[in-house]
Structures are given as C-alpha cells and as structure tokens.
Copies of this chain bind each other. A is one copy, B any other.
Amino acid sequence: MRTGSCCTSLQSAPLGEDRATELAAVFKALGDPVRLRLLSMIAAAEAGVGVCVCELTPAFDLSQPTISHHLKLLRQAGLVDSERRGTWVYYWLVPETTDKLTALLSRPASEWARQHEEVASS
C-alpha cells in the first residue's frame, strides 16, 4: 500500500524549511477563534455561492473593521476568496487550501492501523 501523495503527510517527510513556513502561515490564520468561526460560517454556505460580510459581522461582538481585518487574513492565507457583488462583498471557501492541510495531517492508512495496534497493546 502506498503511503499517500507525492509531497505531503506529516511523517513521511522532514518537512523542509520553506514548505514549513508556507504551511505554518495557513495554520496561523486558523489559530484564532474568530477566524475559525468565520471560516466555518463561510464553509457552511453552498459551494460557490458565498456569504455576505453583512451576515458575518453581526455574529460577533466585535467592530466591523475587526471582522474585515480577520477576513483579510483568511484571504491572504488562501483559505477564502471574495468578490464584490453590488453593494455587498461575498466570501467563499477555497477547498484546495484546506485539502492541503488535510493531506498533511492525515496519516497513510497503514500507519494509522499500526498506531492503533500500538495503542491497544499498551
């Protein structure tokens, strides 16, 4: 059984400096409760439709510029993208980015099974 795709999965590689920096930037964007909630609200929308900022802002006890700032960080991290439609701005998920993280964090099935053996026998 293969261990996964070409260039990912945590334990298959020592994870070079450059790639680590790149991935850490994305994780850093997720490392804030407000941004995580924003992302979940955006991800919960129909794919490709997008969520209006005017729906996101009132869900928090934060000023509107603060929400805008967090959305900007999510966009810079490549986790979401946005577009202006008339008066409002809509945000939607970029699943390719979350997929990269999933690929990194997921263990190959063989490793996963082995780990469960180890845990069970301890």
A binding-site residues for B, Cβ under 8 Å: 10-15, 17, 20-21, 23-25, 27-37, 39-41, 43-45, 47-48, 59, 93, 95, 98, 101-102, 105-107, 111-112, 114-115, 118-119, 122
> How many Å lie between the Cα of A112 and that of B25 in the bound state?
24
- Stoichiometry, as copies per complex, reads 2
Q: A43 contacts which chain B residues (CB < 8 A)?
A: 10-11, 107
Q: Which of B15, B40, B93 contacts A40 (CB 8 A)?
A: B15
Q: Could you tell me if A20 and B47 are in contact, using CB atoms closer than 8 angstroms? A: no
For residue A40, which residues in chain B have a CB less than 8 angstroms away from its CB? 10-11, 13-15, 20
Q: Tell me the smallest distance from the CB of A64 to a CB of chain B, in Å.
A: 19
